[in-house]
Structure 1
Amino acid sequence: MRVFVTGASGFVGSAVVRDLIEAGHQVLGLARSDAAAESLQAMGAKVHRGDLTDLAGLQAGAGSCDGIVHCGFIHDFARFKEVCEIDRRAVTALGETLRGTERPLIVTSGTALVSGQVPATGALATEALVTPTGETALPRVASEEAAASVAAMGVRVSVMRLPPSVHGAGDHGFVPLLINLAREKGVAAYIGDGANRWPAVHRLDAARAYRLVLESGAQMPHYHANAEEGVPFRDIATVIGKRLGVPVVSQSGDEAAAHFGWFAHFAALDNPTSSALTRAKLGWQPQHPGLLADLDQPHYFEG
């Protein structure tokens, strides 16, 4: 297959590109900078210059390929609602390009969006859950809303929900943020008893899941790319504290708000998640280290 990949030079997208190429596929990667273009060429991919706001450019790239993996997202939390709407328009544009074809589209979202939808205490969020929509919904639901509208056009589309921690060398997401907070504040903190759980996956395992969904023709509406159902947040803080040589402490209320700032919502997130349907449908078996084993390595603390 010839596959158009957005976010192709990013932490997850670059792993997807490599996995696709190693499996014998051709990749056309979206690049908005010279550095991104050079990185893609070094991996053996072709380059399509543009960004997520260039809808005509996205459609041109998508129209020349047999399938699309949309990993791109503008990670700017200062204007989060705006960038979520940018993603909505990008997904819609990509989907419109595939109308009337059988070519698959994979859209990226997050398991955190269904954390409040589990039917009973102690249950796991499954692929069957649908994200809440409407005025009270989180802005990030825009991507899944766009995927649903694209599916209504008859497009073959699947949503890949990633866990809060997609980890591995080169990670610049939530775990490095926690490490930086611990360095700055002098403590590695968790909220309350720290028993809230984060699902997690190694970036290379996540990349494999994307490829398998693409090759299978995007048969399910939602897939979950989590290797671990839920790692207690307290355990994440404990590894960070050990590695940095700082105390590991429980915080709550104003103290936690002062420590975590805007990230407090995520630090308190309890998101136990199943990927059983994804594994059964795809034959996906994660093979790389879990979050705590990976976090307890020098690459997370160098520099």
Structure 2
Amino acid sequence: MHVFVTGATGWVGSAVVRDLIAAGHRVSGLARSSEKAVALAATGASVVEGSLQSAAILQRAAGQADAVIHTAFRHDFVHGPRDQDFSSFLESAAEDQRVIALLGEVLAGSDRPLLVTSGLAGLPPGATETDRPNAAVPRKSEAAAHALTERGVRAATVRLAPSVHGMGDYGFIPTLVRLARQTGVSAYLDDGANCWSGVYRDDAARVYRLALESGTTESVYHAVADERIPFRQIAEVVGRHLGLPVEARPRAHFGWFAGMAGGNMAASSAHTRAVLGWRPAGPGLLSDLDQPAYYA
């Protein structure tokens, strides 16, 4: 199968590319700079030079593929990939919707699948694949995919756990670590009983491939290994490694991160495991965080 991957050099997308190639699939991937293009080519993938603003390039690449995986989402970095501020999140979410619609236009009238990426925000605690996100959630990736299915496009959503972890992670856990270093306390909200879920990066990548190989029969897949981890336990591991106190703090302490720190993002992946035969093999979130290299 020839798969076109957006976000092919990103944290999740690069793992998806490696997994697909290792399984014998042919991959073309989007790269927005010459440096990223070199890194992508080294994996054995064909390089599609362009960005999420390159509508014609995106549609041409999608039109030449047997399937499309959309993992790209433009994040805001202040000084580097470990320093996000999410100041343009609404703009990025709108761009994401436009890209999904563009990809869907090319795939309409065919049986070629499109997998888009979303998260667990706006879902009830312990959500299953059949639950639908609150309409107030600003990221509309899943809604955009659903709109395509109503037009006959074989589109589905892979919901990622809030922590897609592993060495080199630059997502929400490093944000929490950085905040602890800056403030001198590894903090949680209220009693810290709100739960996150987690998935090892390579395990998450495998969900995308298995979804394609199984015929993309479902509308939603959950890339969730650790289904329910109290946020306080995450803060405790971080505090122990940094030698900092672990204490409750008000929402103001977390700034823009308060919604995530206080979020209840536990979820079940029982259905995804059953239909795909997916068995997470990587370390759990807490054991992964319990490595000194995570704090280097």
Q: Which TM class, normalised by the smaller chain length?
A: over 0.9
CA distance in 2, matches of 1:163, 1:297: 20
List gaps (5 residues or longer) in structure 2: 77-85
The structural deviation recorded for 1:273 is 0.4
* Residue pair 1:201, 1:227 contacting (<8 A) in 2 also: yes
CA distance in 1, matches of 2:55, 2:228: 37
> Structure 2: which amino acid aligns with 1:88?
Q
Q: Which residue in the other structure is 1:170 paired with?
A: 168
| Correspondence for 1:217 among 207, 212, 215 | 215
Give CA deviations for 1:13-36 in whole Å, capped at 9, x if unaligned. Answer: 000000000000010000001121
Q: Which residue in the other structure is 2:83 paired with?
A: none
Give CA deviations for 1:197-246 in whole Å, capped at 9, x if unaligned. Answer: 00100000000111000111211111110001111100100010110111
Q: Which residue in the other structure is 2:96 paired with?
A: 87
Give CA deviations for 1:261-301 in whole Å, capped at 9, x if unaligned. Answer: 01001100012200011000000000000000001112211
Q: Which residue in the other structure is 2:280 paired with?
A: 286
* Residue pair 1:156, 1:217 contacting (<8 A) in 2 also: no
CA distance in 1, matches of 2:122, 2:280: 22
SS of residue paired to 2:241:
helix
CA distance in 1, matches of 2:161, 2:122: 10
CA distance in 2, matches of 1:191, 1:18: 37
Percent identical pairs in the alignment equals: 55
SS of residue paired to 1:145:
helix
Q: Which residue in the other structure is 1:130 paired with?
A: 132
CA distance in 1, matches of 2:53, 2:4: 16
| Correspondence for 2:185 among 163, 184, 187 | 187
TM-score by length of 2: 0.95
* Residue pair 1:62, 1:94 contacting (<8 A) in 2 also: yes
Task: Please tell me the root mean square deviation across aligned C-alpha atoms, in Å.
Answer: 0.9
* Residue pair 2:146, 2:156 contacting (<8 A) in 1 also: no
Alignment of 1:206 onto 2:204? yes
Give CA deviations for 1:126-166 in whole Å, capped at 9, x if unaligned. Answer: 00012233xxx1211x2112111111111111100001100
Give CA deviations for 1:140-198 in whole Å, capped at 9, x if unaligned. Answer: 1x211211111111111110000110000110000000000111111100111101100
CA distance in 2, matches of 1:223, 1:150: 17
SS of residue paired to 1:43:
coil
The structural deviation recorded for 1:56 is 1.4
* Residue pair 2:121, 2:133 contacting (<8 A) in 1 also: no
Give the number of aligned pairs. Answer: 287
* Residue pair 1:200, 1:226 contacting (<8 A) in 2 also: yes
Q: Which has the higher helix share?
A: 1
Q: Which residue in the other structure is 2:15 paired with?
A: 15
CA distance in 1, matches of 2:211, 2:133: 20
Moved over 6 A (4+): none
| Correspondence for 1:271 among 235, 260, 265 | 265
> Structure 2: which amino acid aligns with 1:271?
M
TM-score by length of 1: 0.93
| Correspondence for 1:104 among 92, 95, 113 | 113
CA distance in 1, matches of 2:183, 2:97: 36
